[in-house]
Chains A and B, each alone.
Chain A
Amino acid sequence: MSQPAQDAQLLITGGLVIDPVQRTQRIADIMIRDGKIVAIDENIPAQAKLRGKVPTIDATGLVVAPGLVDMHVHLREPGFEYKETIATGTRAAVAGGVTSVACMANTRPVNDCPSVTRYILERAKAAQLARVHPIGAVSVALAGEQLAEFAGMHEAGIVAVSDDGMPVMDAELMRRALECAKMFDIPVIDHAEDKTLAAGGVMHEGAMSLRLGLRGVPSAAEDVMVARDVALAGLAKGHLHVAHISSANALETVRQARASGIHVTAEVSPHHLWLTDAAVEGYNTNAKMNPPLRTEEDRQALRAALADGTIDVVATDHAPHHKDEKDVEFDQAAHGVVGLETLLPLTLQLVHDGLLDLPTAIAKITSEPARILRLPAGRLEVGIPADLVIIDLDHEWVVSSESLLSKSKNTAFDGWGMRGRALVTLVDGRIVHDLRPNGAAATG
């Protein structure tokens, strides 16, 4: 994608280097040449007598990890450039330490054919920031009637198929999608929601929705769809990936399906890990998303499932919306929140809380999504492109919606205190984000 810096060398010294694949960490130096990692070792400067001769980032006291992989992002281009563009979305990504994003197909036109896939990749190449991996539609125009062009899109570069935002209500179509996707060794990403049961609901169905007089979506709308789709994945012997899982019962279904040998993986969004339907109080439209924020019991079940491995990945479901689409009556407001710039600290907080160890937490946002999408990313190895993030685990900062780099400011975490931040982000060995006091490159 982006041009590697010619003949450039860069040395990152003294950082705590995380290997999320092996789930290990050690103090080491990393040598980068021509955009690739050429050495990971203790005390490279002494060995190679490079001290002072190569540009060096002193990462003493910092964490060095693979660049993050966010497998659930809405970049909105083409068609909704007023919400986000590939350039602004990938700018927000690298500011959050994310170097690879998989972007959903619900653009206008829908990414249901190779020409749209190629357009997205060209725009990403022009932006020269994070790597972009398009996800193709399951069905033409997300209409749920006819399969999209999997072969052509795969040739053009899609890494998965999904009608995200629109559940595939037709069970036979879902079965066929799982069968066809298997030919290309790509997952079908499942927006698991039974539309007939959701029945136009705008938040989780429970005491809170009754109190606010808002139409509720029962957890069962997710539960029945996950149950249906793991059965279909078993039938098709395909790979089902459950997006933004939110219900405790659905987790149990995933657990059992996996135990019985069905290829099913799952992701959770940071907002479902940190918020409940109580956040809707006062008709807060930045707490409106699909699936909805659920109960404290669900939230605790999600955290436990992340720790026990039932949930493989934390992915943002970054869903930018213009202010005008949020500053309206709650039932009229658009679903979703931005997340790229808060993914890392909200995941690291799970380490601060003692829920996950550091390499496991990093794996949930690097090697695990890369494994599910079969991407050559999310790991630290000699010979691969130097997509890295240097993290200050203890950097404390406060989220301010107005200072987000995403074009849209619809965060659910405005005003929240965060601990941990991407200090420097590299893509192909190139510094694309730098918050160091005397940083070599501006962030934009």
Chain B
Amino acid sequence: MFERRHLLGLEGLSAEEITFLLDTSESFKEVSEREIKKVPTLRGRTIVNLFYENSTRTRTSFEIAAKRLSADTINLSASSSSAQKGETLTDTARNLAAMRPDAIIVRHPSSGAPHLLARHVDCPIINGGDGAHEHPTQALLDLLTIRSHKGQIAGLTVAIVGDLLHSRVARSNLFGLRTMGARVRFVGPPTLVPPHFAELGAELVNDLHEGLRDADVIMMLRIQRERMNGRYFSSLDEYSRLYCLSVEAVAKARKDVIILHPGPMNRGVEISSTVADGPYSVIMDQVTNGVAVRMAALYVLVGRRRGIEAAGEDAPAEPVPLRRAVAAE
């Protein structure tokens, strides 16, 4: 079951909660296969897509998910919102909240922005990606993809390759995969795989071939060209020389390996076209599953909410400030 008010991240969710979200997603997959791809679950509900960063895939995926649930959707991007006029995130949130939306999906370049929002509005917040922190629905769709190909997640070895330092996808996957019992390897150059990641439960490997050895799942991260300014790595070519996922590199993994990529791909940089379009690639499944996962998240947080409130469980989730009595020191 999932009794939380918001979906801010996968860290802290139990295996039961994640499984419930995946099971619910599974049941929504079928809706997208119908000729009439629509159910009335969220009819009369309003879902706000509040995007402070450019995004085509995630925003579209959320919008399709909401529409297939019959919700009304509004898209607000930073360029059209008040942010350009200097309005703070909290003021924007309060103004939106006054219009009584049923959920706000937020993407923001600052880590923790959805948490700030959650403190100021009383509708559910879904984190659509915050800074380098989390991107929970992306990780859920990755988990769903892995589970449907492998049967289960526990016991698998998952190699996540690329710019781990700046990746919210990697963090959400690390938390989710570890909770579900998988081994997670972070593979990349030392500048992008800082040692403290080991304290969060990842195995750190710098060599691509070593990192892929016997992997059940390879997850390639997008290399952001603007970040490769010569500080983390000399050039994209240099990066590609060591970390581009080639057919030879894939051969180090298990025979039945599957390859994921959150997109958009840089073909020839982090992944060769042969691999991206090859038999191991499940990238299109990820996109399809993305809609199902987001339908599930909206359903769980919005569709079931009335029932939860009726049951009396509804104190707004307050952040827990860290407070210690001095005397307890």
User: Interface of A with B (CB < 8 Å)?
Assistant: 205-207, 209-215, 274, 278-279, 281-284, 287, 324, 327-332, 345-346, 349, 353, 414-419
Contact = CB atoms under 8 A, between A and B. Distances in A.
B113 interface: yes
B249 to A, nearest CB: 26
A392 to B, nearest CB: 16
5 pairs of A and B residues whose beta carbons are closest in the complex: A213-B133, A283-B112, A329-B110, A213-B132, A207-B199
Contacts of B199: 207, 210
Most buried by B among A283, A328, A417: A283
A251 to B, nearest CB: 21
A331 B321 CA distance: 18
B326 A213 contact: no
A91 B132 CA distance: 42
A417 B327 contact: yes
Contacts of A419: 326-327
Contacts of B326: 274, 345-346, 349, 416-419
Given A328-B90, A331-B131, A419-B327, A212 B111 contact: yes
Contacts of B322: 278-279, 281-282, 284, 287
Contact of B320 (A274, A282, A324, A414): A282
Given A207-B196, A210-B196, A282 B115 contact: yes
B83 to A, nearest CB: 11
A218 B133 CA distance: 19
A214 B200 contact: no
Interface in B192-224: 194, 196-197, 199-200
Interface residues of B, number: 34
A346 B324 CA distance: 13
B226 interface: no
A279 B323 CA distance: 8
Interface in B294-329: 319-327, 329
A207 B196 CA distance: 5
Contacts of B196: 205-207, 209-210
A212 B323 CA distance: 19
A213 B171 contact: yes
21 contacts: A205-B194, A205-B196, A207-B200, A210-B200, A211-B11, A211-B200, A212-B112, A213-B130, A214-B111, A214-B112, A215-B132, A274-B329, A281-B320, A282-B322, A284-B319, A328-B90, A330-B110, A416-B324, A416-B326, A417-B326, A417-B327
Given A279-B322, A281-B322, A349 B111 contact: no
Contacts of A418: 326
**A211, A213, A283, A332 pick with most chain B CB within 10 angstroms:** A213
B321 A282 contact: yes
B183 interface: no
A210 B193 CA distance: 10
A415 B318 CA distance: 16
A197 to B, nearest CB: 12
Given A213-B132, A329-B112, 14 more contacts: A205-B196, A210-B196, A210-B200, A212-B111, A212-B112, A213-B111, A213-B133, A213-B134, A215-B132, A282-B319, A283-B319, A327-B116, A329-B89, A330-B110
Contacts of B6: none
B168 interface: yes
Contacts of A278: 322
Nearest to B113: A329
A330 B323 contact: no
Contact of B325 (A287, A328, A329, A416): A416
B88 to A, nearest CB: 6
B89 to A, nearest CB: 6
Nearest to B52: A329
Interface string B88-117: 111000000000000000001011110110
Contacts of B130: 213
Contact of A332 (B110, B133, B171, B327): B110
B111 A330 contact: yes
A274 B326 CA distance: 8
Given A327-B90, A328-B90, A283 B111 contact: yes
A331 B111 contact: yes
Contacts of A416: 323-326
Contacts of A346: 326
